[in-house]
Structure 1
Amino acid sequence: MEIFPDLMNSTFSNAKTGFEISLGLTGVLSLWLGFMKIGEQGGVVRGLSRFIGPLFNRLFPELPKNHPVFGTIMMNLSANMLGLDNAATPMGLKAMGQLQEENKSKDTASNAQIMFLVLNTSGLTIIPVSIMVYRAQFGAANPADIFIPILLATFFSTLAGILSVAFVQKIKLWDNVILSYLGGLTAIVCGLIYWLSTLPKDQIKSISLVGSNVILFSIIIVFLLAAIRKKVNVYDAFIDGAKEGFQIAIKIIPYLVAILVAIGLFRTSGAMDFIVGGIKSLFVYFNLDARFVDALPTALMKPLSGSGARGMMLELFSNPDFGVDSFAAKIASTVQGATDTTFYIIAVYFGSVGIKKTRHAIGCGLIADLAGIIASIVIGYMFFG
């Protein structure tokens, strides 16, 4: 009978958490959307749109050519790649608002919005700073040893997301422009992997931490200089953008509370333990290697809640039966960095513009998540098994 009080406590606790997250986002959204407005008026965002336009014109065929949103999307994805969550979310919400302006059915997700959302849920990450920091805090022998596995797994996750959306939306991927951009990105990723693999682990961590913050600060400086060059009133532009950030933060509260309460009930009810236990029993029955199953709570929670998945990962780190350098902990670390939180992103991004009919967004997002999880397990056996 204790389950019912636990369920009710979970409901109230997660409702409070949803509100606190939204409240915490208010300052960050106001700050970054203020800078985004400066970048827009300074012409930086439009310049990015022209650069990435040829590729995005094909991935987002519904939008006008070289639409200004392409620059915002590029900045959002770049922030995600660098692990800059505080910058990625505001830019993503700004992009979703711009896409909503082109959406003819305001309560239904457009093809362009779904493609953008799945690109986010795939969680393409080049520098997983936070995970390396957590591993260092728990005394990992080599905190950065999950760097290359995460980079490979997140790349497959993103590729699966793009392919699934392209299949549903009938986007022709065998196009010279698409192949050139994706091929170029693949070459850059492989080159980065090779270069970083030649460096000591401690140096990789230092480059990740310093590089991410230098890039972030450089973006702010470029925005300001571009605006000054065009004689933009920087203060007024910042205030206009900050007001948008505050309004968005208030708007997402009910959507965020709803999804977090549902996730909390799923965890507290014991459904996750039941699923994980069943999978482990199945692998043991067939005499298969079931070591990865101990990392499945992180994998199953990842599409539902980023903080929940992080909590599952940290539980493995602190568990004396496993520890931060155990096989299961390294698999969990790779999963944590390989994909993003599908249901959270859908709740926040679609909720910010009032989208209620998600169409194939959830399905394609989960395909990207599943690809990232499977890749994490397979690559984990290659690197750590």
Structure 2
Amino acid sequence: MVTVEGPRLATADDFPGIHDLVDRAFHKERGGMAARIPTCYDEQFPEHHAVICEEGAVVAHAAAVPETLVVGDGDLACRGIGGVSTEPDCRGKGYMSDLMEFWLDRADAALFELGGDRQRYGRFGWEDGGRELRYRITERSLSAAETAAETAAEGRAYTAGTDLETLRGVHEAEPLRVKRTRRTSERLFGKRGVETLVVDADDPSYLCVDRERREANVVEFGGTEAGVRALLQTVFAQFDIDSLTVRTPPTHRLNPLFHEVSSVWTTAPLRKVNVRDLGTVLAAFQPQMTARLSRHDVEPETVSLAIEGEEGVELQYEGALSISQTDDPDITLGRRKLTTVLFGEPSQGATVRRRSPLLEAACPLTYFVWPSERV
């Protein structure tokens, strides 16, 4: 009889086994996951990890890293799920399901987000939520769009001691992001596989590039149009790459620049989200929703929503948006369907949104987790 322990929170003693498991499951290099996703594999916080052990050895793992999503003028407590992995010989025993249920039962966050297969995680309540734009830039497409701005200062390599606070300030001006500590910023800007370039100016700019493949990716950027344009030119001048893909929020102020210099662009789902506390989620997005309702000149309206089997939330708009609980919701949907109404593509959930001018104007809600921040 095999002795099974867990799911349970990890301890510091479990970390060697966690690192070994996730490195073999994902990056195939020793220490790879800790170096590439430092926000997740931080040994100062073993309580962010859950494990299942057989005969004392870690055979299954899932992390749930606390995050604070900044969504314009609102903040939302969230957890990012990452590193979901099981030893090949232990698959089929339900360990992944046990770990997902373990974290969802400990729902100290209003929202859980993750990347991964939509069908695999859908049965636990996750659904596609949010959007990102992806701009593919080549040296040719960038050259075709060159303007007088090409004379801007050339980018240089990031220097941790000199540039950290400056880049932190630039990033903190982004209206959609995950809040960071200074230590988190330091680890992200210096993590394995990413090169950060900086343009010095009165308004500094930066670009974080993962170029381990010839199809390189910008995992984070910030600053001015002129500065970012100069950094794009620096990347193609200094790096041997075929293309550069930039992922941005759908509302980012620099999207016109990326559209101008790209060879092709697409829109794609951002992450999968699992709404655990509908009232808290809507309260965090209240300023964003109010701004949209004001722009669309929506008439006064009251509408209420609920996830099946849970308490309803009433939205009342009369020039300002108020949110309260209700026992008699107008619209009750399954967890995934309601996620689609709140966060899905404009075409998804549209039938339900059209039932309410308030919902149609205020949704889909917009958030963003930069590629550098994803666990």
Normalising to structure 1: TM-score of the pair? Answer: 0.25
Q: Which has the higher strand share?
A: 2
Greater helix share, structure number: 1
Higher relative contact order (CA 8 A, sep 6+): 1
Task: With the length of structure 2 as denominator, give the TM-score of the two structures.
Answer: 0.25
